[in-house]
């Protein structure tokens, strides 16, 4: 056997051993990734289901904790894959600690979203199911994760808002209080009977059970406008009745005004023509 044949045989044998060793590592790493990913999903659903059964934890906190558990398992999965290839995980963790500042700067936005999510859970400016307005968006809160808050608009459009943007902005929570005040303005003509118009509006309010008696409804002349006498109406109602009551009042008052000959004037101007001659 020649020297060339011996060298080729040794190279071929070494190649087979390398492929076999690394191949097993690759197969093992893929298996670990599949198991870890599946376990993370199961753990997230299991935690969410277990917390829900207690009935004592808010839905928003449940979603946040289940999401945190999932990410924690994924991190351990990555460490296990690295260990499979002979990389010392302790050294890897130490390396992460040494480069923590750089990673923190690079992931500043993501980490700030996590911090903002924790602050939202701690101070509870809103909960799942509340209708809120913040960061230039409005909608019903569906869930809060580690990084994002999910809203749903009344026309069923999903809005995803980073936690930082929502926490750093003023938040209006329309569902926080059980009651809301409905403000309406009805304009009538200057030639119409103001007391009659106010009496019609008051009768409509008295006949609607959704209008609360305490605080007492307010019906006053709020402004003498350019084209109309503006009657200001303020009514307190249950938050869930707000829009239905508003639409009902607008329609009913308009119909009652028409029936009693009270006009709702259009914008108008008096134009005087002067003959230059």
pLDDT tens digit sequence for 157-211: 999 999 999 999 999 999 999 999 999 999 999 999 999 999 999 999 999 999 9
Domain-wise residue ranges, the chain = 7-98, 125-173, 179-259
pLDDT, averaged across the chain: 82
The whole-number pLDDT of residue 217 equals 96
For residue 32, is pLDDT > 90?
Answer: no
Fold (topology level) of 125-173: SH3 type barrels. (2.30.30)
- What token pair was written down for 51? 């917390």
Least confident of 56-60, 115-119, 145-149, 199-203: 56-60
226 or 18, higher pLDDT: 226
For domain 7-98, give the fold: Helix Hairpins (1.10.287)
Q: Would 7-98 and 179-259 be classified into the same CATH topology? A: no
- Between CA 206 and CA 211, with CA 208 as vertex, the angle to 5 degrees is 80
Question: Residue 122: which pLDDT band, with cuts at 50, 70 and 90?
Answer: confident
How many Cβ atoms are within 10 Å of 130's Cβ, its own excluded? Answer: 16
Least confident of 94-98, 147-151, 212-216: 94-98
Measured between its terminal Cα atoms, the distance across the chain in Å is 129
**Is the predicted pLDDT of residue 15 greater than 90, yes or no?**
no
CATH hierarchy code of domain 179-259: 3.30.70.100
More confident residue, 45 or 222: 222
Are the beta carbons of 206 and 251 closer than 8 angstroms? Answer: no
Long-range contacts of 172-175 (CB under 8 A, 24+ apart): 172/132, 172/133, 172/134, 172/138, 173/125, 173/126, 173/130, 173/131, 173/132, 174/130, 174/131, 174/132, 174/133, 174/239, 175/126, 175/129, 175/130, 175/131, 175/132, 175/239
pLDDT (tens digit, 9 = 90+) per residue, 169-179?
A: 999 999 999 99
Greater model confidence, 41 or 79? 41
Query: How far apart, in whole angstroms, are the C-alpha atoms of residue 21 and residue 114?
Result: 40
């Amino acid at each position: 056997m020649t020297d060339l044949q011996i060298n080729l045989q040794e190279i071929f044998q070494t190649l087979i051993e390398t492929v076999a060793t690394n191949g097993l590592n690759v197969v093992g790493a893929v298996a670990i990734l599949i198991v870890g990913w599946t376990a993370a999903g199961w753990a997230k659903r299991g935690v969410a289901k277990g917390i829900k059964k207690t009935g004592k934890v808010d839905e928003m906190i449940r979603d946040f904790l289940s999401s945190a558990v999932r990410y924690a398992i994924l991190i351990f999965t990555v460490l296990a894959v690295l260990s499979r290839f002979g990389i010392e995980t302790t050294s890897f963790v130490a390396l992460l600690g040494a480069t923590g500042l750089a990673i923190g700067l690079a992931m500043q936005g993501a980490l700030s979203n996590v911090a903002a999510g924790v602050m939202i859970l701690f101070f509870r400016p809103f909960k799942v199911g509340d209708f809120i307005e913040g960061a230039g968006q409005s909608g019903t809160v569906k869930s809060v994760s580690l990084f994002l808050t999910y809203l749903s608009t009344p026309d069923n459009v999903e809005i995803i808002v980073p936690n930082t943007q929502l926490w750093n902005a003023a938040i209006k929570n329309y569902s926080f209080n059980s009651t809301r005040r409905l403000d309406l303005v009805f304009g009538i003509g200057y030639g119409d009977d103001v007391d009659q118009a106010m009496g019609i509006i008051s009768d409509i309010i008295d006949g609607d059970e959704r209008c609360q008696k305490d605080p007492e409804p307010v019906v006053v002349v709020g402004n003498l406008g350019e084209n109309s006498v503006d009657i200001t109406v303020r009514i307190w109602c249950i938050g869930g009745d707000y829009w239905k009551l508003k639409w009902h009042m607008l329609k009913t008052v308009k119909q009652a005004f028409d029936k009693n000959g009270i006009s709702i004037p259009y914008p108008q101007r008096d134009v005087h023509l002067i003959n230059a001659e």
